[in-house]
Structure 1
């Protein structure tokens, strides 16, 4: 692989990964384990076709004993267990908890951690410019990790009169609309409220007199307000910030822990690939890693499926 092709691949990989994150976040409703199982087995089919086609086009032996040694294949299987079976499960679990945006920021640590491990394990050169990039990236990730949700301020706009421009939100004491007469009737207060000039007859409303009995008032109250059983209220109506509900502090801590664990596992898996998969093509490496991970996760899934099918179901009593 040429240097230009490697740079192109390194630039295209984050874009493709981001698109995959967005698709999984909005369209996958199952568990992280099921998604990991699904993507590994589907990807293995494509890698198998590409690996065989590449060997055929190059007129090379498909299974070369000098390339696929027991040591190399074994380390790739170990890399698959660390980076895909466990690492990708934590990766997808963090995606469900944190969302795509935060996980993408956390994933930006992987290339720089890989550079540090390459320097420590593989004796690769680590330049000062690379160290500066690592510091800046880590600082950005820390800022994202410690972000807090700011409460949304609700602005209530006061309505104003369009014609006069006066503010209607100011509370002003309203004059009494009706005056209580001696005979128990109500009459419109003409001193404060104008009435139509054509009809100056006082408005008289009949109201209940004070002679209404207490029994009648109690009867009306019972009819208007029927007795309802009191609903039991929870001890606290506020959600605890440390509960296990989505978005709580405990869930966010778990999500960040999963994401950090994935960064370490995935990076170490990449170091094993670089050390032991030198003579293999990209398609062959991915076929071995994703194929092995798919088989490892498929076996317990099939066993659990058979177990649940064989278990006797409870027969309802007639």
Structure 2
């Protein structure tokens, strides 16, 4: 029963991410760092409250060995560092240089790396049939993801969570979303033109830039997988809310301290300049977006919508994912974690009227077959 609940949780988590992106659409006007910082700090507060309530009123007092040891907390902090603070940054760097098509291909290595790491460090050995299901799922998701990008260009429309361009960008990894849009309203055609131009520019990039982007993408595969591995290794005995409290809280504190430090340095530097220069800088700043390390100015209604999206993307999704982590194998978890593009097919059709192509349908069928096989064969061998 716990295995079934783990699979259901792992399948539900990507759907919540897609819903959260839809809520975020057209509302965030800051940088990826600022959104990541806001996500981590806000969700850490939520996880703190829920953790106290669950530990005090739901769970029975534990008579086992101490749960919150310095070794476990330190391991989760390391997991937060390599999976959130560093892993998200290198992923965004790879995306910037390679584009989402190549990133999808590189990200497909995560489940296979998880098979190896799970067997070496966690003694998890998947049945042979599960490997076939894993391959089918990864192949199907890749077909859907690659087809979605081509379809966006051909029909001159943009789809939430799948578009990458100068005027509008929405990408995610674990809990990070990059949404950068121009202040002025722009049509879908302008967004797609910018996207097409960016892809054309990528075709002219140097070999050095391509290698750098590829290294960043591969490094993210390693960091993200190891981050999940460390979470599963050192989070034993804790609730999913307590695990997320430590990981997101640590990342949020680190980013908040960095933001405050840079803001302080910026203010100190401005006070050393002349009054004329300071006034000029202030007037220029008023007409520009805030620095990458600061939260953007937004109305109350905008922050309310953004916070509502945070509940889906950074609270419910990690809570379900970390619960599933201790019910199913590492490889199965990372495979099911990658099926977000499947959910975007029906949602984009319902909300925007975009019909899926034949290749995307074939990819969805392969992925569903793979998920079914994994669900029956994904239990690890003893």
Fold agreement, TM-score > 0.5 = yes
Give the conservation status (yes or no) of the 8 Å contact 1:36–1:92.
no
Query: What is residue 236 of structure 2 aligned with on the other side?
Result: 278
TM alignment of 1:122-161, pairs within 5 A: 122-139=122-139
Q: CA deviation at 1:70?
A: 0.9
Q: Which runs of 5+ in 2 are unaligned?
A: 156-196, 278-382
The alignment of Structure 1 onto Structure 2 pairs a total of residues equal to 226
Aligned equivalents of 2:25 and 2:218: distance in 1? 19
The Cα shift of 1:43 comes to: 1.0
2:89 matched residue in structure 1:
89
Alignment CA distance shift 1:303-1:296 (3 Å): same
Deviations 1:138-191 (A, max 9, x none): 5457668988969969xxxxxxxxxxxxxxxxxxxxxxxxxxxxxxxxxxxxxx
User: TM-score, normalising length from structure 2?
Assistant: 0.49
- Once the two structures are TM-superposed, the CA of residue 4 in structure 1 deviates from its matched residue by 2.8
Q: Distance between the aligned counterparts of 1:86 and 1:25, measured in 2? A: 25
1:306 Cα deviation from its structure 2 partner: 0.7
Does the C-alpha gap of structure 1 residues 55 and 103 become closer, same or farther in structure 2, counting only changes over 3 Å?
farther
1:137 and 1:258 map into 2 onto residues whose CA distance is 24
C-alpha separation between the residues in 1 aligned to 2:154 and 2:244? 46
1:71 equivalent in structure 2: 71
CA contact (8 A) 1:109 1:137 kept: no
How much has 1:93 moved relative to structure 2? 5.4
Q: How far does residue 27 in structure 1 lie from its aligned partner after superposition?
A: 3.4
Do the aligned residues in 2 keep the contact of 1:48 with 1:283 (CA within 8 Å)? yes
**What is the alpha-carbon distance in structure 2 between the residues aligned to residue 55 and residue 305 of structure 1?**
37
Counterpart secondary structure, 1:114? helix
Q: Which residue of 1 aligns with 2:363?
A: none
Residue 36 in 1 paired to residue 26 in 2?
A: no
Deviations 1:223-242 (A, max 9, x none): xxxxxxxxxxxxxxxxxxxx
Distance change >3 Å, CA 54–CA 95, structure 1 → 2: farther
Aligned mates of 1:74, 1:20 — CA distance in 2: 30
Is contact 2:104–2:142 with CA below 8 Å preserved after alignment? Answer: no
- In our comparison, the structure showing a higher alpha carbon Rg is 1
- Deviation (angstroms), 1:274: 1.1
1:18 matched to 2:18 = yes
Say whether residues 1:246 and 2:191 are aligned partners. Answer: no
**Residue 47 of structure 1: CA displacement?**
0.7
Greater RCO, 1 or 2 (C-alpha within 8 Å, sep 6+): 2
The 8 Å contact of residues 105 and 142 in structure 2, kept in 1 or not, is answered as no
Are 2:242 and 1:290 equivalent residues in the alignment? Answer: no
Partner of 1:80: 80
Any stretches of 5+ residues in structure 1 without a counterpart? 154-244
Q: Shift in Å at residue 264 of structure 1?
A: 2.3
Change (3 A) 1:263 1:273: same
Aligned counterpart for 2:262 among listed residues 260, 284, 304: 304
CA distance in 2, matches of 1:76, 1:149: 39
TM-score of the aligned structures, taking structure 1 as reference length:
0.58
CA RMSD of aligned residues (A): 3.9
**CA-to-aligned-CA distance 1:95-120 (integer Å, 9 cap, x gap):** 67778888677656544532332112
Distance in structure 1 (CA, Å) of the matches to 2:66 and 2:84: 26
CA contact (8 A) 1:97 1:246 kept: no
**1:117 pairs with 2:77:** no
Superposition deviation, residue 48 in structure 1:
0.7
Would you tell me which structure has more helix in proportion to its own residues? 2
CA contact (8 A) 1:32 1:93 kept: no
Name the residue aligned to 1:269. 227
CA contact (8 A) 2:104 2:146 kept: no
Shift in CA distance, 269/111, structure 1 to aligned 2, threshold 3 Å:
same
In structure 1, C-alpha distance between the alignment counterparts of 2:105 and 2:18, rounded to whole Å: 10
